[in-house]
Amino acid sequence: MLNEHLSNARIIRCTVPGIKDIPVAAKKLLEKIDIAIAFGWVGSSPIDKYSYLAASIGIIMVQSLTGKHIIDVTVHEDEAERPDELYEIAINGAKKRALNLIALLKGSETLTPYAGMGLRQGLPDVGPLR
């Protein structure tokens, strides 16, 4: 999908052991590239949620230090009960966030028409307030 919209883009894939390893991996990548998208899977225990919080703070810190976006696609195991639902959430969220990535690369004002429309990552959109 990214290749369709960004025909000249070079895409690098990198795998890390766990979500807390994302910030440093992203920082190293962002020395060479313009934007990153992070796919994280978070368990359902309170410990997993603390790891999610720590990773999120780290991802935000790296963005602030590099001045580059890291788009964050995080799927939480407790967002759905069945594996096929989780799979849909992950795929759906990844696709929507990839479109966000393209929009940010092209200048973030292209996202503005979608602001406040109740669009949700991975889940059905809820629509605007009124």
22-41 residues in contact with a second copy (CB under 8 A) are 23-25, 27-28, 41
Residue 60 found at the interface with a second copy (CB under 8 A):
yes
Residue 50 binds a second copy (CB under 8 A): yes
Considering only residues 65 through 104, tell me which ones interact with a second copy, judged by CB under 8 A. 65, 67-72, 76, 79, 83-84, 86-87, 90, 97, 100, 104
What are the backbone dihedrals phi and psi of residue 73, each rounded to the nearest 5 degrees, phi first?
-110, 100
SS3 27: helix
Binding flag, residue 21, a second copy (CB under 8 A): yes
In the bound complex, what is the minimum distance in angstroms from residue 102's beta carbon to a second copy? 11
Concatenate the DSSP letters of all residues of 56-119 into one string: HHHHHHHHHHHT--EEEEEEEGGG-SSHHHHHHHHHHHHHHHHHHHHHHHT-GGGGGGGTTS--
Q: Is 117 in the site for a second copy (CB under 8 A)?
A: no
How many angstroms separate the CA atoms of 97 and 5, rounded?
Answer: 13
Q: Which of 1, 54, 106, 125 is the binder for a second copy (CB under 8 A)?
A: 54
Judge residue 51's burial from the number of C-beta atoms within 10 Å of its C-beta, 0-12 exposed, 13-18 middle, 19 or more buried: middle
Residues that bind a second copy (CB under 8 A): 13-18, 20-21, 23-25, 27-28, 41, 46-47, 49-65, 67-72, 76, 79, 83-84, 86-87, 90, 97, 100, 104, 108-109, 111-112, 114-116, 121, 129-130
